[in-house]
Amino acid sequence: MAEHREFFYRRLHSLLGVVPIGIFLVQHLVVNHFAVYGEESFNKAAGFLHNLPFVLLLETFIIYLPILFHAILGVYIVFVAKNNVKRFGFFRNWMFYLQRITGIITLVFIAWHVFETRVQVALGNVDVDYSLMEGILTNPVMFWFYLIGVVSAVFHFANGLWGFFVSWGFAQSPRSQKIVTYATLIVFLFVSYIGVRTLIKFAYGV
Ligand code: HEM
């Protein structure tokens, strides 16, 4: 019975990593990328999302609760669960550990990022707009913190997609697993580019 429950929680953890959290991550980075086209474009795109009806309800069920569940079980998996990595080859072993390390980095980054933006808005201290992010990212320490956080989150998502395809049985043969490795590498490079390009615009204005 306990095993069944653990299996169910692990499945849910895996699914939530892709839907909705992974989809949200990509959507968030694409919307932020409007900054590259100028301050007004960014404010319009961010304002559209911010002014959606029932925004707090949507955020709670589509973002906060799924991330909270995924993060709590993720920390448990990293520090407590027994993992069987012997069945993987050298490359996959590395990817397995990087998945865990980037999970922890992403957790620290998201906690700080939400505190600095969403919590401050709720307290009435700031407005989330172009100048807020510009003010944060022109500080070189914060620029590197955000760069590492964004690249870690994207790596964690892209490499997690590989695990998702394999653990849900969509990629079983060695050949299909190889194809998924290349496909998720492209996802990693493409989405990282979108995220990092935006950070450079905020930090250096180019
Ligand atoms: C942007 C936020 C995040 C996204 C998009 C995300 C996405 C994913 C995806 C798609 C998977 C693969 C699921 C699978 O193996 O079937 C995964 C696995 C994992 N995530 Fe996350 N995740 C995020 C945040 C976190 C955080 C904050 C932690 C906390 C440490 C975490 C810990 C883990 C762990 C340990 C695994 C491996 C699970 C396993 O091998 O069974 N993740 N994540």
pLDDT at 83: 74
Closest CA to 195 of 131, 135, 113, 116: 113
> Which residues constitute the domain of residue 102?
2-204
Q: How many CA atoms, within 13 angstroms, populate the side-chain half-sphere of residue 181? A: 11
Distances in Å between the Cα of 56 and the Cα atoms of 29, 31, 39, 72, 116 are 20, 18, 25, 22, 17
Q: How many domains does the chain have?
A: 1
CB 180 within 8 Å of CB 14: no
The preferred substitution site among 26, 64, 99 for testing ligand 1, maximizing ligand atoms within 8 Å of CB, is 99
Residue 114 in contact with ligand 1 by CB distance below 6 A: no
pLDDT at 82: 77
pLDDT at 92: 93
For ligand 1, the distance from its centroid to the CA atom of residue 173, given in whole angstroms, is: 23
d(CA 67, CA 163) in angstroms, rounded, equals 18
For ligand 1, the distance from its centroid to the CA atom of residue 13, given in whole angstroms, is: 7
Print pLDDT tens along the chain (206 aa).
688 999 999 999 999 999 999 999 999 999 999 999 999 999 999 999 988 999 999 999 999 999 999 999 999 999 998 776 666 788 999 999 999 999 999 999 999 999 999 999 999 999 889 999 999 999 999 999 999 999 999 999 999 999 999 999 999 999 999 999 999 999 999 999 999 999 999 999 99
For ligand 1, the distance from its centroid to the CA atom of residue 70, given in whole angstroms, is: 7
Residue 150 in contact with ligand 1 by CB distance below 6 A: no
SS3 content of the chain, % helix, strand, coil (to 5): 85, 0, 15
Residue 152 in contact with ligand 1 by CB distance below 6 A: no
**Residue with the nearest Cα to atom 22 of ligand 1?**
17
CATH number of the domain bearing residue 158: 1.20.1300.10
CB 161 within 8 Å of CB 25: no
75: tokens are 């920390």
pLDDT at 81: 82
